[in-house]
Chains A and B, each alone.
Chain A
Amino acid sequence: AQKITQTQPGMFVQEKEAVTLDCTYDTSDQSYGLFWYKQPSSGEMIFLIYQGSYDEQNATEGRYSLNFQKARKSANLVISASQLGDSAMYFCAMRGTGRRALTFGSGTRLQVQP
């Protein structure tokens, strides 16, 4: 079985500051992928970043980076230089090899304050 835990129901950050959203996971799969999605108030799911379990480098996509610590089973999302438009729900998800769909965490609501 797979499980994603996001322990921060809500986070506040000042505009232009960096913020880290926590994600820990549990899986018995040797190979897996970790994903972060953003869900703004409009409701759509927007893919942000992906990290493969065998990737040696931490993934980066623009202002998003994934701090992957395999031994700790954590995959935290770091958003640099926060913008007001970053205010949204953020979901961590994973999929193991041979598994067909994503397992999602319960999400973290980020609010960026001016």
Chain B
Amino acid sequence: NAGVTQTPKFRILKIGQSMTLQCAQDMNHNYMYWYRQDPGMGLKLIYYSVGAGITDKGEVPNGYNVSRSTTEDFPLRLELAAPSQTSVYFCASSLGGVGEQYFGPGTRLTVT
């Protein structure tokens, strides 16, 4: 199993550009999450999904959108990138609503 994979690993965006961060898991997990980690801080939840077709906002959803058309994939869309979105983005998954979450390797995004 590859676990949770994320692409790209690094990206530099100009202000106002858009992009999609890809996340996929091959563990047949129902729950998937997007977190962001600002320098020197812990992770904050952006969006999550409890299954295909179901998504909900987390703590810091503004400026982002998600979709969950399959169990495996959970892309995160940034529209009109802003410098405040410079961060490391982690995707995670879990089998259910309790227990361990498995994290992807992260995407380091810089908006200038």
How far is it, in angstroms, between the C-alpha of A91 and the C-alpha of B41 when the chains are bound?
Answer: 10
Determine if B50 and A100 form an interchain contact, defined as CB atoms under 8 angstroms apart: yes
Contact of B99 among A33, A37, A44, A97 (CB under 8 A): A33
Determine if B105 and A43 form an interchain contact, defined as CB atoms under 8 angstroms apart: yes
Q: Is A68 an interface residue (CB 8 A)?
A: no
Q: How far in angstroms is the closest Cβ of chain A from B14?
A: 24
Question: With A43-B106, A44-B103, A47-B102 in contact, is A100–B42 under 8 Å at CB?
Answer: no
Question: With A50-B100, A95-B98, A100-B56 in contact, is A44–B42 under 8 Å at CB?
Answer: no
Determine if A45 and B41 form an interchain contact, defined as CB atoms under 8 angstroms apart: no
Q: Is B61 an interface residue (CB 8 A)?
A: no
Determine if A101 and B58 form an interchain contact, defined as CB atoms under 8 angstroms apart: yes
Residue in chain B with minimal CB distance to A107: B42
Determine if A105 and B42 form an interchain contact, defined as CB atoms under 8 angstroms apart: yes
Q: How far in angstroms is the closest Cβ of chain A from B59?
A: 8
How far is it, in angstroms, between the C-alpha of A107 and the C-alpha of B50 when the chains are bound?
Answer: 27
Query: Number of A residues whose C-beta is below 8 Å from B?
Result: 22
Q: How far in angstroms is the closest Cβ of chain B from A92?
A: 9
How far is it, in angstroms, between the C-alpha of A33 and the C-alpha of B101 when the chains are bound?
Answer: 12
Contact of B43 among A33, A50, A97, A104 (CB under 8 A): A104
Residue in chain A with minimal CB distance to B56: A100
Determine if A47 and B105 form an interchain contact, defined as CB atoms under 8 angstroms apart: no
Q: Is B44 an interface residue (CB 8 A)?
A: yes
Q: Is B74 an interface residue (CB 8 A)?
A: no
Which A residues lie within 8 Å of B43 (CB)? Answer: 45, 91, 93, 102, 104
27 pairs from A and B in contact (CB 8 Å cutoff): A4-B42, A35-B100, A37-B103, A44-B103, A44-B105, A44-B106, A45-B43, A45-B90, A45-B92, A45-B103, A45-B106, A47-B100, A47-B103, A91-B42, A91-B43, A99-B97, A100-B33, A100-B45, A101-B48, A101-B58, A101-B101, A102-B43, A102-B45, A104-B42, A106-B41, A106-B42, A107-B40
| Additional A-B contact list (16), CB under 8 Å, known A4-B42, A33-B99 | A43-B105, A44-B105, A44-B106, A45-B92, A45-B103, A47-B100, A47-B103, A50-B100, A91-B42, A95-B98, A97-B98, A100-B58, A100-B97, A105-B42, A106-B40, A106-B42
